Amino acid sequence: MNDRAGDVLEHIDAEACRRFQVAAELAGQKWTAAVLLSLARGAGRFTEVRHTVSGISDRMLSARLRDLERQGLVVRQVTPSVPVQIRYELSESGWQLIRALAPLVDWGQRWMQDDPAADAR
């Protein structure tokens, strides 16, 4: 612990904290991270994502994709062929979110204790 966190804290006022809260809840919601990562790695079709995110149900995937689309993190493109093709991809903000999340992953590697309760999830 060499430096204080003052340089960090000065950016974090109440409003920032609120926004952070929402962002963290979004990212922390079950399956969201996995779906985001799946898309980042190239999955585009509903079925592709479902297949790369093992264990997710149609219902949850559908819900998460809708949430992500609503927040503008994911773009849903419909190609009017027969049958219609749906493709999801990360938006700019989606990519940026993944980048913003990277330090958190590093933190996890370094500091996180194994959580017994995690097995239940």
Partner DNA sequence: CTGGATCCCTATCGATACTG
Partner DNA sequence: CAGTATCGATAGGGATCCAG
Residues 6+ apart with CB under 8 A from 41: 52
72 pairs with which residues across the strands?
none
Indicate whether 85 belongs to the interface with DNA (CB under 7 A).
yes
Closest separation in Å from C-beta 51 to a second copy: 14
Least distance from DNA to the Cβ atom of residue 30, Å: 3
The CA dihedral of 65, 46, 97, 54, to the nearest 10 degrees, is: 100
DSSP 83: S
CB of 2 to a second copy, least distance (A): 10
The residues binding DNA (CB under 7 A) are 29-31, 45-48, 55-60, 62-63, 65-66, 76, 83-88, 120
